[in-house]
Amino acid sequence: MKHRERLEACLAGDQPDRTPVALWRHFPVDDMRGETMAAAHLNFQKTYDFDLVKVTPSSGYFLYDWGVKAEWRGNPEGTRAYTHRVIERAEDWGKLEMLDPRKGHLAEQIIGLEKIVQALGPDTPVLMTIFNPISNAKKLVGDEDVLAHLRQEPEALHRGLEIIAESTRAFIAEIKKVGVAGIFYAVQHAQKSLLSEEEYKTFGRAYDLPILEDCGDLFLNMLHLHGDGVMFDLVVDYPVQAINWHDLETEPDLAGGKARFGGAVCGGLRQWETMVMGDAEKVKAEAKAAVELTEGKRFILGTGCVVPTTAPYGNLIAAKRAIK
| Domain CATH code at residue 93 | 3.20.20.210
Sign of CA dihedral 27, 33, 38, 43: negative
Give the Cα separation of 244 and 247 in Å (integer): 8
- Which pLDDT value is given to residue 27? 98
pLDDT over 80 at 107, yes or no? yes
Query: Per-residue pLDDT averaged across 136-151, rounded?
Result: 98
Domains of the chain: total: 1
Sign of CA dihedral 223, 32, 20, 126: positive
pLDDT over 90 at 324, yes or no? no
Cα 83 to chain centroid, rounded: 23
pLDDT over 80 at 190, yes or no? yes
Query: Per-residue pLDDT averaged across 191-212, rounded?
Result: 98
Contact 318, 280 (CB under 8 A): yes
pLDDT digits (tens, 9 = 90+) for 284-293: 999 999 999 9
Nearest of 31, 25, 30 to residue 50 by alpha carbon: 25
Give the Cα separation of 252 and 249 in Å (integer): 9
| Reported confidence tier of residue 33, pLDDT bands at 50, 70, 90 | very high
| Reported confidence tier of residue 220, pLDDT bands at 50, 70, 90 | very high
Range of the domain at 76: 3-322
Cα 281 to chain centroid, rounded: 27
Contact 109, 57 (CB under 8 A): yes
Report the percent of the chain where pLDDT is more than 70.
Answer: 100
What letter does residue 205 receive in the DSSP assignment? Answer: I
In whole numbers, what is the pLDDT of the chain averaged over residues?
98
Report the percent of the chain where pLDDT is more than 90.
Answer: 99
Q: Can you give the pTM of this predicted structure?
A: 0.98
pLDDT over 80 at 76, yes or no? yes
**Half-sphere exposure of residue 184: CA atoms within 13 angstroms, side-chain side:** 23
Give the Cα separation of 305 and 201 in Å (integer): 23
